[in-house]
Chains A and B, each alone.
Chain A
Amino acid sequence: MTRWNNGLDEVEAVSPDITDETNALPAQYFTDPDVHEMEKEAVFGQYWVYAGHVNCIPEPGDYFTRTIGDREIIVVRNHEGDVQAFYNVCAHRGSAMVEETPMTDPGSASRIQCPYHLWTYDLDGDLASTPRSFEEARLNPDLEDEDVPELDAEENALMEVHSDRIGPFVFVNFDEEPMSLDEQAGKMKSELEALPLEEYQLARRIVSEVECNWKVFGGNYSECDHCQANHQDWVRDLELLESELEVNDYHWVLHYQHKEDVDDEMRIHEEHEAKFYYFWPNFTVNMYGTADGYGTYIIDPIDEGRFQLVADYYFEDPDLSEEEAEFVRTSRQLQEEDFELVERQQRGLDSGAIAQAQLGPNEHTVHKLHRLAQEAYEA
Chain B
Amino acid sequence: MSQHHQPAFTIACEACGVDTDTDSANEIVAFYRRHHRQTGHDVVLTRADLEFDLPVADDDLESVVAELEAHYDDGVPIGVVAAVMSERGYAVGETLEEIDDVRMTGALYEPRDDHLAAV
Contacts and interface: CB of A to CB of B under 8 A. Distances in A.
Interface of A: 65, 67, 100, 102, 104-105, 205-209, 300, 302, 308, 310, 332
Nearest to B40: A105
A65 B39 CA distance: 11
Contacts of B31: 209
Contacts, number: 40
A207 B16 contact: yes
B20 A332 contact: no
B38 A308 contact: yes
B36 interface: yes
Contacts of A206: 16-18
Contact of A209 (B17, B34, B37): B34
Contacts of B36: 100, 102
A332 B17 contact: yes
B40 A209 contact: no
A310 B34 CA distance: 11
A208 B17 CA distance: 9
A36 to B, nearest CB: 15
B13 interface: yes
Interface of B: 13, 16-18, 20, 31, 34-40
From DSSP, what is the main secondary structure of chain A's interface residues? Answer: strand
Nearest to A332: B17
A107 B117 CA distance: 34
Contact of B18 (A100, A105, A209): A209
A67 B37 contact: yes
Nearest to B33: A100
A375 to B, nearest CB: 29
Contacts of B37: 65, 67, 100, 102
Contacts of B17: 206, 332
A312 B40 CA distance: 14
B34 A104 contact: no
Nearest to B38: A207
Nearest to A300: B38
A308 B41 CA distance: 15
Given A302-B34, A308-B34, A208 B16 contact: yes
Given A302-B34, A308-B34, A208 B18 contact: yes
A205 B20 contact: no
A104 B40 contact: yes
Contacts of A205: 16, 38-39
Contact of B39 (A67, A104, A300): A104
Given A102-B38, A302-B34, 10 more contacts: A104-B38, A104-B40, A205-B38, A205-B39, A206-B16, A206-B17, A209-B34, A300-B38, A308-B38, A332-B17
Given A206-B16, A206-B17, A102 B39 contact: yes
B39 A207 contact: yes
Contacts of B40: 102, 104-105
Nearest to B20: A209
A310 B18 contact: no
